[in-house]
Amino acid sequence: MQAVLEVKEIWKQYHRGIDRKYKSFRDSLSNIHHWWSGNEQDRFWALEDISFQVEQGDSLGIIGRNGAGKSTLLKILSRITPPSRGEIILRGRVASLLEVGTGFHPELTGRENIFFNGSILGMRYHEIKNKFDEIVDFSGISHFIDTPLKHYSSGMQMRLAFAVAAHLDAEILLIDEVLAVGDAAFQKKCIGKMDEVSKSEGKTILFVSHDLRLTEKICNKGILLTDARITGMGSAFDVVQIYKEMNLEILQHSNASIDLTKHKDKKGHYGIKTVQVKCDDIASNEFYPGCNLKFVIKIHKKELLINPEVGLAISDYDGNYIVGLNNNHLNTRIRKDSSEIDVTFEFKYFKIYKPGDYFFNLYFGDEDIEYEMLMNAGTLHCIPTNTKSFQSLDPKYNLIIDNELYITYK
């Protein structure tokens, strides 16, 4: 079978710190020396020697950390930006869903944007009209179809954009993380539609996501990008496992109760010994939005401390911190005289709504003295629900008052 997409030795170079605002012709000429003889340190490769093929009907998941080159690759395949060198062969029309609002005009209504988007794909008016009712019905925004797009919420824009991309006659569909904007019910609907267009209609899908479980569910093949290069290729399941092995390095990854005495960041026999995660008082590293989430930490200290400090930090799969706090944030002082300390961080209603994997780090110190910082001490997995769309924790003070956080010890 002939591949519908062939990527051959693609490289993409960018310049750091370039002012991309529009300038006069004279200003551009005055900076021409910088462009041709600029310091090599100002340049970096966003993609290096990328080669792969995708056959008709395949669903290819592209995973990797932030900055690995995933979005750059999709922009090149969408012909938004050209590669610095290399060759791409596309056999079929491409529909892109890269960012919410991309390919739409904010002043046009939803109805007008459907025809506008279809015309960009090269479709005739009657072809788009034949698909129109299906698109509007799938999007679920029929009451707003004659409202200008600028009045749509991001979720409504995503609904319309996905409906257009999935129903119009394109052989290749490129999707970059936009499903995170939608609610869980519509996300499920999108997953079903992608499965349908891939298996029944023979469309090819390239899907970028940080949700590894969703990638495994949607895609049959996968590519792992690390520092601009392909470091894994094969089935979606195998590539996800490679990614986890490369980046987690966590003892007892799937356990809710973790022995940390042999953690790679341990500095001695004292300090943090174990941690147990509980959702609604049941030992589990899986949680749902709004559950009562507890981190029960056992600590052994060998000497009298001035002001013991225990900290917890939670980050997403790419290392972006969502929560960072310690007992002193809530003016909770821990006993100094006991050699064994149990500290519990309890979130009465843990308000992370975005499905996927999260990590937590643990800290133990005294005043300004750091005894140990255990990076990637364990993992959490958020199970999607229909309650709300993605809502991050309030970052105002990096301390989540509205989660009714309590710290207890004994």
pLDDT tens sequence across 94-144 = 888 776 666 788 899 999 999 988 887 777 889 889 999 999 999 899 999
Among 186-190, 273-277, 312-316, top mean pLDDT goes to: 273-277
User: What percent of the chain is modeled with pLDDT above 90?
Assistant: 26
Indicate the SS3 state at residue 178: helix
pLDDT tops 60 at residue 254: no
What is the per-residue pLDDT for 216?
Answer: 86
Contact predicate 11/99, CB 8 Å: no
Q: If residue 317 lies in a helix (H) or strand (E), which one and from where to where?
A: none
Q: Which amino acid, 380?
A: L
For the entire predicted model, the pTM comes to 0.58
**Over the stretch 194-223, which tens digit does the pLDDT of each residue have?**
888 888 888 899 998 877 778 888 899 999
Q: Residue 264 carries which DSSP code? A: T
Task: Please give the CATH architecture assigned to the domain spanning 254-388+395-409.
Answer: Distorted Sandwich (2.70)
Average pLDDT over residues 66-92: 89
Contact predicate 158/100, CB 8 Å: yes
**Over the stretch 366-403, which tens digit does the pLDDT of each residue have?**
776 767 888 888 888 887 654 443 344 443 323 333 33
Q: What is the CATH number of domain 5-15+43-245?
A: 3.40.50.300
354, with CB counted inside 10 A (0-12, 13-18, 19+), is: middle
**Over the stretch 9-52, which tens digit does the pLDDT of each residue have?**
999 998 765 444 444 545 555 555 554 555 555 688 999 999 99
Contact predicate 299/372, CB 8 Å: no
Contact predicate 175/208, CB 8 Å: yes
What is the per-residue pLDDT for 404?
Answer: 44
> Can 5-15+43-245 and 254-388+395-409 be said to share one CATH topology?
no
Tokens of 252: 């007892």
pLDDT tops 50 at residue 253: no
What is the per-residue pLDDT for 287?
Answer: 85
Q: Where are the domains of the chain?
A: 5-15+43-245, 254-388+395-409
User: What percent of the chain is modeled with pLDDT above 70?
Assistant: 77
pLDDT tops 60 at residue 273: yes
What is the per-residue pLDDT for 166?
Answer: 82
